[in-house]
């Protein structure tokens, strides 16, 4: 019986999709935790992309994952999507309807915010807080014993996303334009950005930025140059980065405080703080966040993701199917990420 059950799990297919403001990752594996392949596409953020574009990206990635893994439609048992903005009921309903039309009746479909899946990737589904700083920003906390979720931030680039790549990039561009006007102090950001975009002078920046098909992504990309310029001692860039760190620390600490209020009997004193998103790939930025007074006083234990958020989606697809996440499954997923045999 065990061999039969194991064979059945090996024949099943589960897909995890992680969609943020810059790109979407899709991962497919079997019911035993063996990841077969991963593929990538454009942003599928329903907060900032046209609905037709979101549908196209998701459809193409699922089809590509199935083709690359040489899987049959009858094998697909579950799909778990973690998409930016998908925790709003109206958006979740719209996404679910589309996925239900796209997939066969036997496929279980689950849709959550991308923060939930990043947290799962960092804690294997255990208690913790995730802080995301990519194109946008958000913090999420989860206590599995009481199924308690807390969300802070993530209100989009018009209403929030403090400490995000977009926020940092926008502040950097404002500083460049102020210097050009004579309203602001000199900053190396000007020379760095003009070189990067191959523009002759700051007057060309407005035409360049506003002509882009995805302006948010272009502005968020400026963040990496802002961090580099700040690390080299530019005062204006340093002020921008320090303000972003303070905003991110506030997001994380507020989640911890709200969890403590909602579940006073729970021990939240040393929860892991999982860091996800492009900004946290910068070691200097990580060090500055770790040194922040609010973070240091919070007792939170900072950690980077050891597996990508898409792997967290895949793992949650398994859990939704009632498959226990064993040490063997964890090892299979970790082996894929490190290039080993899954």
**Burial class of residue 126 (count of CB atoms within 10 Å of its CB; 0-12, 13-18, 19+):** middle
**pTM greater than 0.85 (yes/no):** no
DSSP three-state, residue 24: strand
Q: Is the dihedral of CA 213, 214, 215, 218 positive or negative?
A: negative
Are 222 and 169 within 8 A, CB to CB?
yes
- How open is the CA angle 247-138-262, to the nearest 5 degrees? 95
> What is the model's pLDDT at position 227?
94
| pLDDT tens for the chain, residues 1 to 342 | 445 557 788 889 999 998 876 789 999 999 988 999 999 998 887 777 788 888 899 999 999 999 999 999 999 999 999 887 777 788 888 888 999 998 988 899 988 887 888 888 888 878 899 998 988 899 999 887 888 889 999 888 889 899 999 999 999 999 999 999 999 899 999 999 999 999 998 999 989 989 988 888 899 999 999 999 999 999 999 999 999 999 999 999 999 999 999 998 888 888 899 998 888 888 899 889 989 999 989 989 898 887 888 888 898 899 888 888 888 888 888 887 655 443
Are 112 and 87 within 8 A, CB to CB?
yes
> What is the model's pLDDT at position 269?
84
> What is the model's pLDDT at position 339?
54
The CA distance from 131 to 255, in Å, is: 10
The CA distance from 155 to 74, in Å, is: 38
Q: How far is CA 33 from CA 26, 108, 159, 232, 336, in A?
A: 15, 17, 39, 43, 10
> What is the model's pLDDT at position 3?
52
> What is the model's pLDDT at position 199?
92
């Amino acid at each position: 019986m065990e061999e039969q059950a194991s064979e059945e799990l090996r024949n099943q297919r589960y897909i995890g999709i992680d969609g943020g403001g810059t790109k979407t990752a899709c991962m497919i594996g079997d019911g035993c935790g063996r990841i077969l392949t991963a593929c990538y596409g454009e942003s599928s953020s329903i907060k900032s992309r046209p609905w037709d574009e979101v549908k196209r990206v998701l459809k193409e990635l699922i089809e590509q994952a199935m083709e690359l893994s040489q899987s049959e439609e009858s094998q697909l048992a579950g799909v778990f999507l973690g998409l930016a903005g998908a925790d709003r009921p109206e958006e979740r309903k719209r996404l679910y309807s589309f996925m239900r039309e796209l997939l066969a009746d036997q496929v279980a479909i689950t849709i959550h915010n991308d923060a939930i899946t990043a947290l799962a990737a960092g804690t294997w589904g255990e208690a913790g807080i995730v802080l995301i700083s990519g194109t946008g920003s958000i913090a999420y906390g989860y206590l599995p014993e009481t199924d308690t979720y807390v969300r802070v931030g993530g209100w989009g680039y018009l209403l929030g996303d403090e400490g995000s790549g977009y926020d940092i990039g926008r502040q950097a561009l404002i500083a460049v334009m102020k210097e050009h006007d004579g309203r602001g102090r000199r900053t190396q950001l000007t020379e760095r950005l003009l070189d990067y975009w191959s523009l002759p002078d700051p007057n060309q920046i407005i035409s360049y930025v506003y002509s882009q098909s995805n302006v948010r992504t272009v502005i968020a990309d400026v963040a990496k140059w802002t961090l580099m310029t700040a690390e080299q001692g530019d005062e204006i860039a340093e002020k921008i980065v320090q303000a972003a760190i303070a905003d991110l620390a506030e997001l994380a600490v507020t989640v911890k405080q709200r969890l403590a209020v909602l579940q006073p009997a729970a021990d939240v004193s040393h929860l892991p703080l999982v860091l996800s998103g492009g900004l946290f790939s910068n070691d200097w930025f990580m060090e500055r966040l770790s040194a922040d007074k609010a973070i240091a006083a919070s007792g939170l234990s900072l950690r980077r993701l050891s597996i990508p958020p898409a792997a967290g989606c895949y793992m949650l697809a398994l859990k939704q199917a009632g498959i226990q996440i064993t040490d063997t499954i964890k090892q299979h997923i970790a082996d894929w990420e490190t290039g080993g045999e899954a």
